Copies of this chain bind each other. A is one copy, B any other.
């Protein structure tokens, strides 16, 4: 059994030229949930002047169909974002920073240490408010500005969040620099240091290695993967960084391998077609083009 955390409505749409209406964002999420998705990164509590595609997270949350067993997460980069998140209906808080300071400065206008100092204390706040907390550590597999990112920095950040009470860690390959050998090594080192911590992986398909990296993570024991419907996404601050790994392609891979995802592939393909229509360009989805293996 593998769990997909659907990040298309957030990491996907935030990098699209077309800004979807709140109603379209809600419809997309509802379609994903109908296809069996139980965890969605639905919104982002960032400055709407900077990321206009993510405006009105509170309104998105209000309009969503609440379904039993489904958890909606909101991204938080700062204490200010946390205030808004706690006033909204999100089930989970995704506290995000980049292990690379050069990248974090562009993404959050703070050094990695400054973000840690600001975000770590928010874990307790979230927990007392009965929200789940995942710490997402970006550029964990490399930084387009700094190159290699040391495992020590990544694990130090993870430890800080875990010591404060975070429920889970996601290691994110923000700009698609990971390779499958590195993924296995990183996961094995993580599991050795944090044996009982739920670990998720977040990959981009920038250099065509998204599925290979997911497979490598699976072999190393990971059972939770971020993916984006239609392969939507990227990163506005990383030129040429193409989309996240594509939900329907990853789910199709696992299905073919006989690994249960609990998801309905036809439903996902319908959601991908809806997303494709709304973003107004062909999406980077192999299974949408070629169809599943007959």
Contacts and interface: CB of A to CB of B under 8 A. Distances in A.
Interface in A102-151: 142, 144, 147
A286 B207 contact: yes
A216 B242 CA distance: 24
Query: Which of A206, A207, A214 has the most C-beta atoms of chain B within 10 angstroms of its own C-beta?
Result: A207
A207 B290 contact: yes
Interface string A198-223: 00000001111111101110010000
Interface stretch (A28-36, A45-53, A173-181, A187-195): A173-181
Contact of A242 (B256, B290, B293): B290
A242 B289 contact: yes
Quick one: copies of this chain in the complex?
2
A294 B207 CA distance: 12
B257 A207 contact: no
Interface in A34-90: none
A266 to B, nearest CB: 15
A208 B207 contact: no
Query: Which of A176, A209, A253 has the most C-beta atoms of chain B within 10 angstroms of its own C-beta?
Result: A209
Contacts of A209: 211, 249, 253, 286
A240 interface: yes
Query: Which of A142, A176, A180, A208 has the most C-beta atoms of chain B within 10 angstroms of its own C-beta?
Result: A208
Interface string A142-181: 1010010000000000000000000000000000110111
Query: Which of A212, A246, A287 has the most C-beta atoms of chain B within 10 angstroms of its own C-beta?
Result: A212
Contacts of A147: 294
B216 A287 contact: no
A253 B290 contact: no
B286 A206 contact: yes
B253 A205 contact: no
Contact of A287 (B180, B207, B246, B290): B207
Nearest to A141: B293
A10 interface: no
A253 B212 contact: yes
Given A215-B215, A256-B179, A207 B241 contact: no
11 contacts: A179-B293, A180-B212, A180-B215, A181-B256, A181-B258, A206-B286, A207-B287, A208-B287, A212-B214, A219-B219, A241-B290
Interface of A: 142, 144, 147, 176-177, 179-182, 205-212, 214-216, 219, 240-242, 246, 249, 252-253, 256-259, 285-287, 289-294
- Give me the 4 closest cross-chain CB pairs, A-B, nearest first: A208-B286, A181-B257, A179-B256, A212-B212
Given A177-B294, A180-B215, A209-B211, 4 more contacts: A179-B257, A208-B246, A208-B249, A240-B291
